[in-house]
Structure 1
Amino acid sequence: MTKGSSMMAMKEWFEGGRVAIAMLTVQVISGALQIMARIIFNQGTFVFAYLFYRHVVGAVCIAPLALHRERDGGKKLSWGIFLWLFVVALTGLTMALGLFCYGMSDTTATYATNFLTLVPVVTFLFSTILRMEKVQLRTKVGKMKILGTTICFGGALIMALYKGKAFYIIHRTQKHHRMLTKSKPQNRTLGTIFLIGSCLSNCFWFISQGKLLEIYPYKFWTTFFICIIGSMQQAVIGLCINRSRGVWRLGWNLELLTIFISGTLATALSFCMISWAVAERGPTYPAMFTPLRLIFVAIGETLFLDEVLTVGGLLGMSLIIIGFYSFLWAKNKEIKAKTTNADAEVESMPDESATA
């Protein structure tokens, strides 16, 4: 190996390491935010008030990026695009996040995070039903996608229906684990219904977002407008549910810190890092790190919220991760095959300038 090639390999390794660290950071931020959100929900924070303030902060943070990176995007807004923005905000921010927060409040953050891992798989199923994607059952890739989907759903069913023996990461001898959160009765059945609704809303969000980006390819402006429209939707729905001033009032406490972190880091910073990772490594690369959030959240809940780990939970979690990576492997192979075929078609096309 020559000096030039070794330097190139080191550079590629360094660039890949930076992208991996960025994606790990995204999952750590998301995991920590879910733990903090569950704490404030247990303390009585109103879900729609939290979502409203979170997306207002997110819009403020993303606005400078939209103005700097996509200066002309704000001028190309039409009523048709606004309608799609409204649908994306409704399905992705108001319904998906709202139902997820209520579901997490009635269960645990670890249990709820498993449903986030199922989102790409369920989206694939709906895309297949709507004929937006082909299954190709006779190919190895098609069989792996079906197998991964089946394993994921099997893991989800095990988590929902079977608990088994419970145990803790550390032996609890102190009461400081319960100092951050008040005791709140859980309703796993209702929480599961909310989480299933959140999962389905996420699927429609991805599908509608793909349609939106076809007619309005400005990612920063899209995020800004979706945050603004979503916050308006959440304010209207929240006021219909609870008009008490107390639930909308902010104080200098963990609730304010959670809103600030979710708006600045989870909405603005994470969006930029994921976009950069997609540009550097492709669209499937960020999704590879999603199951790591399960591990972070499970450990965090056990350490800080005194939640137990169960055999059923660990078994279901493991199956979901295995199924997710099987599906992701097949999807990545499919994308590479399409790219190779497209390049081959371009190379086989006759050179019009030469024939002329």
Structure 2
Amino acid sequence: MKIAMKEREITRNFPRCKPHILMILAQICYTFMYIITEASFNHGMNPCVYVTYRHIVGGLVMLPFAYFLERRKRPKLTLALFTEIFVLSLLGVSLTLNMYFTSLKYTSATQVSCLVNTIASLTFIIAIVLRLEVVDIRNPRGIAKVVGAGVSLAGVMTITLYKGPALKNVGHGLIHIGGSTKVVQENWLKGSLLAATSCITWSMWYIMQAYTLKRYPAQLSLGTWMNFVGATQSAVFTVIVQHSKAAWTIGFDIDLWSTLYGGVFISGIVNLINLWCTEAKGPVFVTMFNPVSTILVAILAYFVLGEKLYVGSVLGGVIVILGLYLLLWGKERDEAQPKQQDPEEQKTDLSIPVLKNLSEEP
């Protein structure tokens, strides 16, 4: 009897917990992506080539599902809508990820995963600039959002400008996947700036994606289009900056496995999870789970792989996460006290719904 009641309770609560479970699984996938991709770059793979191949694989994986499952749901693709998808692919794939993965080559998985946590705060700031988010600085929750965004940016500056001494490793790494021909040349400031810039364009992508999903509510098809269009953009850029034909050749090694993993799991499955959760809960909800992969990456990199962990990354990462959850607390209070909002403020509230669904249960 008790078992049956527990099963019914789990079944009843699952729809409410589904977005949270999916986002945690997505962060676990991201964790392995950081590790295997860094190993591939250390082995000598070009980041731009990786981005191109990965999204070709992702597009091929999603294409049959998008074609058959969304034949009746998919809207007609107009020139205006394709232009929107082109810009969306530029922000979410080719421009952002080329900067992002190049920064991973210059720094470390822990460093990059720490900076990703700023996307929520940057999304919030951009929304304010575009008048998509209203902040009442006379209210404690409004102050919490502003302070949280500022604290997160302070964490970014700490990670970018302060490297600090390396923490002492606890023994030797249990696994070594870097390859014997490590060609990475560490350039901390350059890598940090690239990662920070990619976070800005990524934040713009989250906001634009929320709008596009309203006009093109076919998640599989939109993800497929972004994969193929982004891969084409990345290929054109790579051909311009990379003239070596050998860079496009990958063998049956870590380069192939990282490309297949990134294409199938990240550009395919995780991309679909992000699209579904963005439509259901909003872009800020999606970004609030980034600290999960940061913690997992730090643990794997330090204790398992024996990677150096620097004081600047740890300190800045903690500051960023504190600011992130201060911001999220402020937004949660927005949803918890909607009736206390001033009538005049309601008239001027131009927030798009997806940015306000942070704590709203389905």
**TM-score band (shorter)?**
0.7 to 0.9
- Cα shift at 1:13: 5.1
User: Which deviations, in whole Å up to 9, do the C-alpha atoms of 1:226-260 show, x marking residues without a partner?
Assistant: 11111111111111111322111121111111111
**Partner SS for 1:128:** helix
Moved more, 28-37 or 162-171: 162-171
Residues 12, 322 of structure 1: alpha-carbon distance in 2 compared, 3 angstrom cutoff: farther
Letter in 2 for 1:25: L
Moved more, 239-248 or 95-104: 239-248
Instruction: State how far apart, in whole Å, the 1-side matches of 2:281 and 2:213 are.
Output: 20
Residues 324, 236 of structure 1: alpha-carbon distance in 2 compared, 3 angstrom cutoff: same
Residues 30, 173 of structure 1: alpha-carbon distance in 2 compared, 3 angstrom cutoff: closer
The aligned counterpart of 2:355 is none
TM-score, reference length from structure 1: 0.85
- Cα shift at 1:120: 1.6
**Partner SS for 2:256:** helix
Instruction: State how far apart, in whole Å, the 1-side matches of 2:279 and 2:299 are.
Output: 31
Instruction: State how far apart, in whole Å, the 1-side matches of 2:293 and 2:267 are.
Output: 16
The aligned counterpart of 1:145 is 145
The aligned counterpart of 1:161 is 161
The aligned counterpart of 1:208 is 208
CA RMSD in angstroms, aligned pairs only: 3.0
Instruction: State how far apart, in whole Å, the 1-side matches of 2:304 and 2:183 are.
Output: 13
Alpha-carbon contact 1:177-1:303 (below 8 Å) kept: no
Matches within 5 A, 1:112-261: 112-172=112-172, 176=176, 179=179, 182=182, 184-261=184-261
User: Which deviations, in whole Å up to 9, do the C-alpha atoms of 1:64-94 show, x marking residues without a partner?
Assistant: 2222332135560000001101101111101
Alpha-carbon contact 1:181-1:305 (below 8 Å) kept: no
Alpha-carbon contact 2:121-2:327 (below 8 Å) kept: yes
Matches within 5 A, 1:1-356: 8-12=8-12, 20-72=20-72, 74=74, 76-172=76-172, 176=176, 179=179, 182=182, 184-274=184-274, 285-303=285-303, 305-335=305-335, 337=337
Alpha-carbon contact 1:158-1:316 (below 8 Å) kept: yes
Instruction: State how far apart, in whole Å, the 2-side matches of 1:186 and 1:339 are.
Output: 53
Alpha-carbon contact 1:102-1:194 (below 8 Å) kept: yes
Alpha-carbon contact 2:146-2:327 (below 8 Å) kept: yes
Instruction: State how far apart, in whole Å, the 2-side matches of 1:327 and 1:47 are.
Output: 33
Residues 20, 129 of structure 1: alpha-carbon distance in 2 compared, 3 angstrom cutoff: closer
- Cα shift at 1:312: 2.9
Instruction: State how far apart, in whole Å, the 2-side matches of 1:78 and 1:297 are.
Output: 41
Residues 75, 173 of structure 1: alpha-carbon distance in 2 compared, 3 angstrom cutoff: closer
**Partner SS for 2:288:** helix
Q: Which runs of 5+ in 1 are unaligned?
A: 346-356
Q: Which runs of 5+ in 2 are unaligned?
A: 347-362
Alpha-carbon contact 1:155-1:320 (below 8 Å) kept: yes
Residues 173, 268 of structure 1: alpha-carbon distance in 2 compared, 3 angstrom cutoff: closer
Alpha-carbon contact 1:73-1:221 (below 8 Å) kept: no
Instruction: State how far apart, in whole Å, the 2-side matches of 1:61 and 1:140 are.
Output: 47
- Cα shift at 1:207: 2.8
Residues 179, 97 of structure 1: alpha-carbon distance in 2 compared, 3 angstrom cutoff: closer
Alpha-carbon contact 1:168-1:302 (below 8 Å) kept: no
- Higher Rg: 1
Letter in 2 for 1:166: A
